[in-house]
Structures are given as structure tokens and as C-alpha cells.
A and B are shown apart, each in its own frame.
Chain A
Amino acid sequence: MPLGAFKVALFGSGSGASDTFIAEIRSDTSDSGSALQRNMSGIAVDSDENVYIAGYGSKAAGGYQAWFIKTDALFSDFTINRVSDANATEQGNWYYQDLFNTRTAGSSTDQIWWGGQVNNVSPEFPRWCATMKSDLSEETDTFGGFMWYLNSWPWNNSGNYNNEPRGILASSDSNILVGNSRLYETQQSYQNAVFNTVFTKSSSEYAIAYAKSYTPGWAQNAYTAGNWLRATGSSSSIWEDHDFYFGTSNVSYQNGGAQLFRRYGGGHGSEDSHCYYPNTGTINTGSFQLTGKGNYLYLVCMNNGDSSTHLCKINEFGTSSGDIVWSRETYRTGQNGQQGYQTTPVIDSNENIWQTHTYQYAEGSVNRMGTIIYRYNSSGTIDRCYDLRQATDITDAYNYQFPRQLALSYSEDILYMAFGSYADGTTNTGAYVLAVKTDGSTTGTATLGTGSGPAVDDTTWVLTSDTSYATSATSDWVKTSTSGVSWGSIQPNQFQSITATTTAKTGAITLGAF
């Protein structure tokens, strides 16, 4: 059973029920401060079905305590040793974002990659990423990694919004990594810009090899739309083996669409780009998430302007010019407002696409939030839909939910969702993991907590499975040429790497129902 040693609250009963659960994770270590702010960051599964979960919570001494779980072992209290700077052994505030699993070609060992941001390491504003060894059994196990930051005027601040940075993507051979950052500057143009960075492996070290920026102009804001590394099938060179897709959006250009940029071919290669957007109303505070598998890109747009969530399946740029294959718009049937949060989709080996988003619904005199998790088949038809709500004994409308990341088990029979929630009718934030069967069979009620432990704990979750809960329709997506947008080439020497090692030690954690 995943998360084997921990107690969890099960959905339903009978055969197989142990595989479908909800768990609350409490980083209540001796160093914890308020137990009321627990943040979920990401989840991944390796080929041995180990489940990796990451998050952070507040510390008594201030700042945040990052934690990391491999199935039943906790690693927390990460310390960043910036070995390139003798004056600095600093533990900053670590903000995770997403975990990714990759298996190095020809190796039996999986690697779990994550990315994120470190604060409190002034004057730089780095993003960091790290690779973790699969065997995390030793108390003083070392997590290899590195950090990088943009060493170029006028960038003097960092953003930490939505998917920015969104973890670090690694190619299947681990020869290429790609990450992004979003930086703000108050020295010249008061703009938010996006920087995409590629790292290549030399021996055992990674170095910045290529970067691409988007700077929107005076007083404007750009947002990352995600990255993707696509294996081309070549085995000629690092640069020919993968296409690099970068996304960015800016509400002022091309209807707020996402500009997708591809770098391909040998050397530093050739470049092309297209722009995509759902053509329904004005995209206001639209948030795009790019991912892909095989020959297809998948682009999600959550548009708070009209409370809509869209998914577009796109051909890879090389052979079919990035044409749209199909596009859909999805609502929770009966929703009455803002959807709020979504995750990057995950795609299984049959090209089914799992996606999730939150929604608002009315219950009596209050509006409450729920989460639907649904699956499109390869043709764009919804054939699974789970609906997750909190029990009505929590009557306060303050029950926002924050899905962070989806992950499929290696055998693809279980779907995991890492998410946060205002679970007790206040802004106290709990960190949760949900596991459901991909065949749609999981349903039931699961109660976490007895009220005797630290808040947040009194939570009853209700999970139902019914495809009629998701209303889906063909969505008018537009593919246009990228215009009015200037992609800048950032020279590698404008970035600076910080060689860093991270260490972690085991600690106490509470997980489950008691």
C-alpha cells in the first residue's frame, strides 16, 4: 500500500479500498511554529511505486521548514550549503514547486527532481533546483543540487506566483534540464519578465547552456506558461535529442494568449513559435500551464475573467506546425463562479489526460469550493470525473482548495493529488494527499481527525464519481503567429550558478487520521 506505514482515512470499503484514501500531513516537528499553515508543493511516484511528497510549513524561529516524504520516511530541515561562497551557509525560506520523476536511460535508478525558490539569500534572488537520490534511507543523506540566478541589471526582485518557478524538468537521460523564473524590476521599467534556462550535463555537473527571456515592456507583466522537453527520437547529440518548449503569456499581446517558443536542432539550434488562446471573452488573469507527451503538447488556460478552464491539444511544432488537434472548455456542472486553481495535467500511456480544477458552488446561503478531477480520453471526451468536497458540517464558506500536482502510479491504476485546503472553516491551511482509482470506481466518505490533535484536523471529505459532473464543450481556441512579442536571448554568462549541496535529516511528522 502506498504510504504504507501511515494511517490514512479510506474511501469506501471492501476489496481494494486501501488503495484509495485521503491523508492529512502535519509537519509538526519540534522546530515547527504554528501548526496552522501547512503548504503542499508536489507529488511524484517512482517505478517501485514509492510516493514522494513535498511541502513546507511555518517554523517557530520564523521562516519555513521544508519537508520531503518518501513513502514512509520523512526528510526535513534542509540546509543549503552554498559551497561557492565561504561566507554563506544560509537556510532560507524554501518554496517548492512540483516534483518530477525521471529514470536515467540505461539505469534502474529513478531520480526525483524538484525546483523552487529560496528567499533570504540577499543580495541574489536565486531559484534553486536539486536532484534527489532514490535511496533516502540514511539520516544524513545528501541531496545533490544547484542554484542559479540572473546576474544582470536591472533585475532586483523575484516573483513567486502560480507556477513560477515550476520545478525543474529533466530529460529521460538527465542530460538536459530546463527551468524558468519570473523576475520583477523596479530600477527601469517596472515590469515582470520571464526567463527560461537550459542546463546541460558535463560529467556530473550541470551548467547553464542556453536561455531565453521575454520582457514585456514598461509597466507590463509577463507570466510563465510552463516548459516541456520533448524527446525527438534522435540520439545524435544533447541538442538534437530534445526540443525545448518554453511558454509565456502577457495579457497585452494577442488576447492574452500563451506564446510557445521552441528551440530545436543541432548546436544552439533553430527557433520557431506560435501563440494560442481560448477565444471566449477577455482573458483576464489567465494562467497557462504547458505540458506534453509524445507528439502532442497540452496547454491549459484558467481564465478568471469568465471563470472558465480550457484544455487544448496541440501537435508538436516540427512535423505539423503546431496545429490544434482539439480543444475543450470544462465546468463543474452547477458551479456558480470562480474556479480559482488548477494543476498541470498528467498524461498516461494511452494519451488520456487527467486534469483538475476548483470551482465554487452555492450551498444554502454560502458559497463553497469543491474540486473536480477529470480525464479526457485521447479524442477529447471526458470518461472519468471525481468530485471532492468537504462535508457540510464545516459551514463556513472559507473552504478554498488548492490542488498543486497530480501524479499517476507507475502502473497507472492510481491517481494521486497533492493539495491544500482551508479545512476547518478558517484560513488555517492543511496539506493533503488524495488517492483514487483511475477506473473511476472510488467513492465514499473519509473522516480525518478527532478534534484532539493540532488543527487542522476535523475534516470529513466526500468523494463521488460521475462523469455528468463535468460539462465539457468544444472550445474556440486560436492559433496565431507570434507577433508583437520580442523574445530575447540571454547569454549564459548573464546567469550565475551557485554550486550547492543540500542536506536533510529525518524528523517527526504526523500523517493521517487518529
Chain B
Amino acid sequence: MLNIVYMDIEGNYPRYSGDIQAVHPDWNVGDPLPDRWRAVEVDDSPETVVTYPEDASDENPKPPLTYQKLVREAPVFNATSGVWTQGWSVETLDWEAPDETG
């Protein structure tokens, strides 16, 4: 399903349906957007991957080598389609054992 978020009249992004309703209480999802608000279609995020040493196995478990983070790209306007879209980039990071929670 299409993932829609919003940009407010000052260009702040992202904003959500409740943020619009806070300014325009009568507005509901599906209604025409209030003046100067913009809808942005968010691309599906790419899968993130964790890599392990080649010789890791159930008999020889080893910590990962790398993991990945998603980075939200700035929304862009496609003049042809008239649609704002937002994509993702992927950043690969060396594995450092994350701190234990708790």
C-alpha cells in the first residue's frame, strides 16, 4: 500500500495526518489537502543486510561484519507526474556489538 506522508506549508518534512488535523480539524485522510500542504509518496525501503564472515556457521558462530542503516532522502518533485516522492539510500557500517539493552 502506498505510504504517504506530508510536507507542511513551511516545507517541514515529514509531517503526518494528525499534524494536518491539528491545524485543520475538519480535514480527514482522503480529503483534498489544505492549501500549500503537499503529499509525498515514500518509496518502499530497500532491505538492509547483515554480513557475516564466510566461515561462520552454526558450529562456528561469529559476530557480523557489517550492518546497514537507511537514510531518508530529501523529497523531490517530478514535474511530469506532478508527484512528490521520497527515496532511500543505504549506509553500510562496520559491526560494533551494540550495547546490551537492559
> B49 interface residue, CB < 8 Å from A?
yes
> A304 interface residue, CB < 8 Å from B?
yes
Most buried by A among B4, B44, B52, B70: B70
Q: How many residues of B contact A (CB 8 A)?
A: 40
Closest B residue by C-beta to A218: B61
Question: Which residue of B1, B14, B64, B102 is within 8 Å of A252 (Cβ)?
Answer: B64
Question: Which residue of B16, B29, B67, B101 is within 8 Å of A326 (Cβ)?
Answer: B16
Closest A residue by C-beta to B52: A218
Contacts of B4 in A (CB 8 A): 323
Contact between B61 and A190, CB atoms less than 8 A apart? yes
Contact between B56 and A380, CB atoms less than 8 A apart? no
Contact between A324 and B16, CB atoms less than 8 A apart? yes
Contact between B44 and A218, CB atoms less than 8 A apart? no
A379 and B98 in contact, given A218-B61, A474-B12 (Cβ under 8 angstroms): no
Question: Which residue of A252, A284, A379 is within 8 Å of B22 (Cβ)?
Answer: A379
Closest chain A CB from B74 CB (angstroms): 12
**Chain A 326-339 interface mask (CB, 8 Å, partner B; 1/0):** 11000000000000
Contacts of B29 in A (CB 8 A): 320, 323
Within 8 A of A (CB), among B59-75: 61-64, 67, 69-70, 72
Closest B residue by C-beta to A476: B14
Cα–Cα, bound, A286→B100 (Å): 10
Contact between A326 and B58, CB atoms less than 8 A apart? no
> A494 interface residue, CB < 8 Å from B?
no
Within 8 A of A (CB), among B1-58: 1, 3-5, 12, 14-19, 21-22, 29, 42, 44-50, 52, 56, 58
> A217 interface residue, CB < 8 Å from B?
yes
Contact between A323 and B3, CB atoms less than 8 A apart? yes
Closest chain B CB from A397 CB (angstroms): 22
Residues of A in contact with B, size category: 35 or more
Contact between A223 and B101, CB atoms less than 8 A apart? yes
Contact between A325 and B17, CB atoms less than 8 A apart? yes
Contact between B45 and A481, CB atoms less than 8 A apart? yes
Cα–Cα, bound, A276→B101 (Å): 18
Closest A residue by C-beta to B8: A474
Contacts of B102 in A (CB 8 A): 159-162, 164, 223, 287
Question: Which residue of B22, B45, B64 is within 8 Å of A380 (Cβ)?
Answer: B22
Question: Which residue of A220, A223, A477 is within 8 Å of B64 (Cβ)?
Answer: A220
Most buried by A among B45, B56, B58, B97: B45
Cα–Cα, bound, A483→B47 (Å): 5
Question: Which residue of A189, A474, A480 is within 8 Å of B19 (Cβ)?
Answer: A474
Cα–Cα, bound, A161→B46 (Å): 31
Cα–Cα, bound, A47→B48 (Å): 47
Cα–Cα, bound, A219→B64 (Å): 7
Contact between B101 and A218, CB atoms less than 8 A apart? no
Contacts of B5 in A (CB 8 A): 324
Closest A residue by C-beta to B57: A218
Contacts of B1 in A (CB 8 A): 321
> A253 interface residue, CB < 8 Å from B?
yes
> A254 interface residue, CB < 8 Å from B?
yes
Contact between B48 and A483, CB atoms less than 8 A apart? yes
> A478 interface residue, CB < 8 Å from B?
yes
Contacts of B22 in A (CB 8 A): 326, 379-381
Closest chain B CB from A270 CB (angstroms): 15
> A255 interface residue, CB < 8 Å from B?
yes
Contact between B61 and A476, CB atoms less than 8 A apart? no
Contact between A325 and B16, CB atoms less than 8 A apart? yes
Contact between B61 and A304, CB atoms less than 8 A apart? no
Cα–Cα, bound, A327→B5 (Å): 12
Contact between B58 and A189, CB atoms less than 8 A apart? yes
Contact between B98 and A221, CB atoms less than 8 A apart? yes
> A81 interface residue, CB < 8 Å from B?
no
Closest A residue by C-beta to B14: A476
A474 and B50 in contact, given A188-B61, A218-B61 (Cβ under 8 angstroms): no
Cα–Cα, bound, A188→B57 (Å): 9
Cα–Cα, bound, A190→B58 (Å): 10
Cα–Cα, bound, A478→B46 (Å): 13
Contacts of A59 in B (CB 8 A): none
Most buried by A among B17, B61, B62, B102: B102
Contacts of B63 in A (CB 8 A): 218-219
Closest B residue by C-beta to A381: B22
Closest chain B CB from A192 CB (angstroms): 9
Contact between B49 and A304, CB atoms less than 8 A apart? no
> A251 interface residue, CB < 8 Å from B?
yes
> A479 interface residue, CB < 8 Å from B?
yes
Cα–Cα, bound, A218→B62 (Å): 6
Cα–Cα, bound, A161→B17 (Å): 35
- Rank and list the top 4 A-B pairs by shortest CB-CB distance, nearest first: A161-B102, A326-B18, A325-B18, A219-B63
Task: Please name 21 pairs of A and B residues whose Cβ atoms are closer than 8 Å in the assembled complex, sorted by A.
Answer: A162-B102, A164-B102, A189-B61, A218-B62, A218-B63, A218-B64, A219-B62, A223-B101, A252-B67, A252-B95, A253-B48, A285-B99, A323-B16, A326-B18, A380-B18, A380-B22, A474-B12, A476-B14, A479-B42, A480-B70, A484-B49
> What 13 additional pairs, Cβ within 8 angstroms, besides A223-B102, A285-B100, A321-B1?
A219-B97, A254-B45, A255-B69, A284-B99, A285-B98, A304-B99, A324-B5, A325-B17, A326-B18, A479-B42, A480-B45, A480-B70, A483-B48
